[in-house]
Amino acid sequence: MNVADVPVIDIAGLAGFDAMVKNAIAAQIDSACRGAGFFYAANHGLDLKALQGMTMDWHHAMSVEEKKELAIHAYNQASPRHRSGYYMAIEGRKANESFCYLNPAFSTEHPAIVDALPAHEVNVWPDPHRHPGMREFYEAYYRDVSGVAALILRGFAIALGREERFFEPHFSSEDTLSAVSLIRYPYLEDYPPVKVAPDGTRLSFESHQDVSLITVLYQTAVPNLQVKTAEGFLDIPVADEHLLINCGTYMAYITYGYYPAPEHRVKFINAERLSIPFFVNLSHSSAIVPFDVAADGPAEVSAAVPYGHYLKHGLAHLIRSNGQT
Ligand SMILES: [Fe+2]
């Protein structure tokens, strides 16, 4: 009752060579994305307990001064960064805080950084003497979760009737604009005012669609997410051993809504917990021509929207409608 149907899909077979197994996984992905829009990826091989432990410890070890130093422009006018860095909590106003980082390949010598292309930034990290091993841990996580995402995208490609490696040229380790957000929701004796949805539900983040191709999410096992369906908002069950997957609006765009980006929201819960999305983004110049899945062929379309353009406008729109996170 009031719970969304979120299947658990074993994705390990996507790494193998058995076409029947892969087709069966793709069929499960297809039915999840045509249904409530979320599924859990099981057997992903990531150490999520280590991710939870490291992130919880690190958030607690950060001083306000360190957070300020790493803050993005919205929280520190002196910062030139808009994506990578710390997103502050504001006492009495905003409880959650987060640290976002981008592709570790974006160094000062990376062509996109040299050319100052939008949405590309060199990551900032806290002082390695105070937070030893942090950068190495999260750069490894970026690489590992990218691998899981690439595997899941194989399933999507098969499900969409494309060649298995359809997404690979667009999702490259050198150029992907993907981002990890280490979001902490604290427990507070005195919680700042929270948003209230039109149906009276108290919220931490209002209803939205993700700006991504797909999103790969780890969360502490505290129920909070709801997805909008024909029957209204339904609870998404928790499973902290799996990764929660949903489509973003770029997937909806290239498939003409065959796989919609599900609308979802975060319920307010006063509990210490983490939410760690990996927003799977393509390269700046990637432009996938939308295709008609049902007609099994390319549709009559105008030029494809390049991913860099989509991301910039999509993120700006999300901040305008749901506020700065
Ligand atoms: Fe979301």
What confidence tier does 322 reach under pLDDT thresholds 50, 70, 90? confident
Query: What is the CATH number for 263?
Result: 2.60.120.330
Residue 32 backbone dihedrals phi, psi, to 5 degrees: -65, -45
Distance 115 CA to ligand 1 centre (A): 30
Structural domain harbouring 99: 8-322
Is there a contact between 52 and 274 (Cβ–Cβ < 8 Å)?
A: yes
Task: Tell me if residue 205 is catalytic.
Answer: yes
Both tokens of 239, joined, read 């499973």
Residue 1 resides in a domain? no
pLDDT above 90: residue 324: no
Distance 40 CA to ligand 1 centre (A): 15
102 Cβ contact list (under 8 Å, min separation 6) = 83, 84, 120, 121, 123, 177, 178, 179
Q: What is the pLDDT of residue 316?
A: 74
Q: pLDDT tens digit string along 246-277?
A: 999 999 999 989 999 999 999 999 999 999 99
Distance 62 CA to ligand 1 centre (A): 25
Residue 185 resides in a domain? yes
Catalytic residue among 30, 38, 44, 210: 210
Is there a contact between 178 and 103 (Cβ–Cβ < 8 Å)?
A: yes
Task: Tell me if residue 284 is catalytic.
Answer: no
Distance 314 CA to ligand 1 centre (A): 13
List beta partners, residue 217. 244, 277
The structural domain count of the chain equals 1
pLDDT above 60: residue 297: no
Residue 294 resides in a domain? yes
Catalytic residue among 39, 167, 205, 278: 205
Residue 131 resides in a domain? yes
Distance 132 CA to ligand 1 centre (A): 30
Distance 31 CA to ligand 1 centre (A): 20
Both tokens of 101, joined, read 């980082």
Task: Tell me if residue 120 is catalytic.
Answer: no
List, edge to edge, every strand of the sheet that includes 232-235.
195-196, 202-208, 264-267, 225-229, 232-235
Residue 72 resides in a domain? yes
Residue 105 resides in a domain? yes
The residue type at 29? I
> Which pTM was predicted?
0.96
Task: Tell me if residue 60 is catalytic.
Answer: no
Q: pLDDT tens digit string along 75-100?
A: 999 999 999 999 999 988 899 999 99
What confidence tier does 121 reach under pLDDT thresholds 50, 70, 90? very high
Percentage of the chain modeled with pLDDT above 90: 86
